[in-house]
C-alpha cells in the first residue's frame, strides 16, 4: 500500500485555518470527535454573564450532552476554568441531561493534563488533543482522547456505579412499561447468571449478581423505549445476527465495547430468544 506523507500544521495564527474553520468542520461531522452518534445542539451558545460556549453536542439516542470548548495552540488555565464554568451553567439550567465537559486543544501538556485529571471523578471532563494534518488533497483534523471521564465501572469491585436511586425515580423519568422491559431483561439474566437483581442508579439501570455489580447488560429506560447495552466485542457474526433480526441497532459503543439496541415492548416479545442468546454470550465473556 502506498504511503502518503502527511505534514502537521499549527492552527494557532494560521491565516485561513482559523478557529471558525475548526468549528465548521466539527459541526459538519461531529462524529470526528469520537463521542459516538452525536448531533450539534447549538453553536456559540450564550452563557449569561460568562461569554459563549463553542459547541453543545447531544447524543442522538440518549440523554448525554457535551459542553465543548476549543483552543488553538496549547491549553491554559483560563481554558480549563471556562470549560468547567460553561459545563456547570448548562447542567444547572437543564438538569434533565447528563453533561460532560470537553476540552479540545492542539497541545494538552502533561502539566495541565495532571490538573484536569484532579477534577475527574467529581467533574465529568474529557481532554481531546487536536492535530491538523496536511496532504496533497487538503487538510484533515485528527482528534485523540487523552483523558476520559471516570464513568461507572462494571467490574466485580464496583458498588453499582453512579448515585443510587430507586424504581420510583425511574418510573418518573422513564415509564412503567419500559421498566417492565428491564424486568424481562433481569429474567433473561437469571437464566445465565443465577440470582440477579436490578440496580437503580441515576444514569442507568444495571445488574447485580450475588450482591455485586455485574453489568454485562444494562439499560437506559426512556418514556417509549429501552436502550439496552450488551457488552460484546464487535464481530461480523454478531452484526449479521442483529441485521437479520430487523431490530433497531444504534451505533456500536467503541469506548465501552457495547452493542446498543433500541427496544419497544413488541421488539422484546418477538426477539426474546435472540436477546437472551446475546446476553448469555456477554455473561460468558464476563465470566471467562
What tens digit of pLDDT does each residue of 135-163 get? 777 888 899 988 876 544 444 334 444 56
| CATH class, 7-147 region | alpha beta
pLDDT tens-place values along the chain, 288 residues long:
777 777 888 888 788 888 899 999 999 999 999 888 899 999 999 888 778 999 999 988 777 899 999 999 888 888 889 999 999 999 888 877 888 999 999 998 877 777 777 776 678 888 999 998 887 778 888 999 888 765 444 443 344 445 678 999 898 888 999 999 999 999 999 999 988 999 998 888 999 998 888 999 999 998 889 999 999 999 999 999 999 999 999 888 877 789 999 999 999 999 999 999 999 999 999 876
**Number of residues assigned to the chain:** 288
Q: What is the pLDDT of residue 150?
A: 54
pLDDT of 29 reads 92
Residue boundaries of the structural domains of the chain: 7-147, 167-287
For residue 121, the model assigns a pLDDT of: 62
What are the DSSP calls for 58-95, one per residue?
Answer: EETTSSEEEEEEEEEEE--HHHHHHHHHHHHHHHHH-T
Cell digits of residue 286: 464476563
State the Cα–Cα distance between residues 258 and 119, nearest whole angstrom.
Answer: 27
pLDDT on residue 155:
41
Domain spanning 167-287: which CATH class is it, in words?
A: alpha beta
Q: What angle do CA 53, 56, 60 make, to 5 degrees?
A: 180
- Are 192 and 280 contacting, i.e. CB atoms less than 8 angstroms apart? yes
Amino acid at each position: 500500500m502506498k504511503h502518503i506523507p502527511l505534514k502537521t500544521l499549527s492552527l494557532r495564527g494560521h491565516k485561513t485555518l482559523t478557529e471558525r474553520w475548526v468549528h465548521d468542520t466539527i459541526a459538519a461531522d461531529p462524529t470526528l470527535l469520537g463521542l459516538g452518534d452525536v448531533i450539534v445542539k447549538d453553536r456559540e451558545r450564550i452563557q449569561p454573564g460568562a461569554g459563549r460556549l463553542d459547541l453543545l453536542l447531544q447524543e442522538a439516542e440518549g440523554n448525554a450532552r457535551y459542553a465543548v470548548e476549543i483552543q488553538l495552540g496549547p491549553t491554559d488555565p483560563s481554558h480549563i476554568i471556562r470549560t468547567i464554568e460553561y459545563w456547570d451553567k448548562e447542567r444547572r439550567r437543564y438538569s434533565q441531561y447528563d453533561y460532560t465537559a470537553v476540552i479540545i486543544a492542539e497541545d494538552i501538556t502533561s502539566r495541565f493534563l495532571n490538573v484536569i485529571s484532579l477534577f475527574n471523578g467529581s467533574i465529568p471532563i474529557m481532554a481531546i488533543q487536536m492535530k491538523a494534518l496536511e496532504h496533497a488533497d487538503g487538510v484533515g483534523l485528527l482528534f485523540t482522547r487523552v483523558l476520559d471521564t471516570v464513568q461507572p465501572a462494571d467490574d466485580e469491585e464496583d458498588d453499582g456505579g453512579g448515585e443510587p436511586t430507586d424504581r420510583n425515580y425511574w418510573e418518573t423519568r422513564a415509564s412503567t412499561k419500559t421498566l417492565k422491559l428491564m424486568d424481562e431483561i433481569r429474567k433473561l439474566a437469571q437464566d445465565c447468571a443465577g440470582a440477579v437483581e436490578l440496580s437503580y442508579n441515576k444514569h442507568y439501570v444495571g445488574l447485580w449478581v450475588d450482591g455485586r455489580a455485574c453489568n454485562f447488560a444494562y439499560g437506559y429506560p426512556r418514556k417509549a423505549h429501552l436502550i439496552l447495552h450488551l457488552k460484546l466485542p464487535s464481530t461480523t457474526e454478531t452484526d449479521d445476527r442483529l441485521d437479520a433480526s430487523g431490530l433497531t441497532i444504534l451505533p456500536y459503543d467503541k469506548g465501552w465495547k457495547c452493542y446498543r439496541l433500541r427496544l419497544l415492548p413488541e421488539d422484546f416479545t418477538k426477539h426474546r430468544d435472540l436477546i437472551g442468546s446475546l446476553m448469555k454470550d456477554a455473561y460468558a465473556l464476563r465470566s471467562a
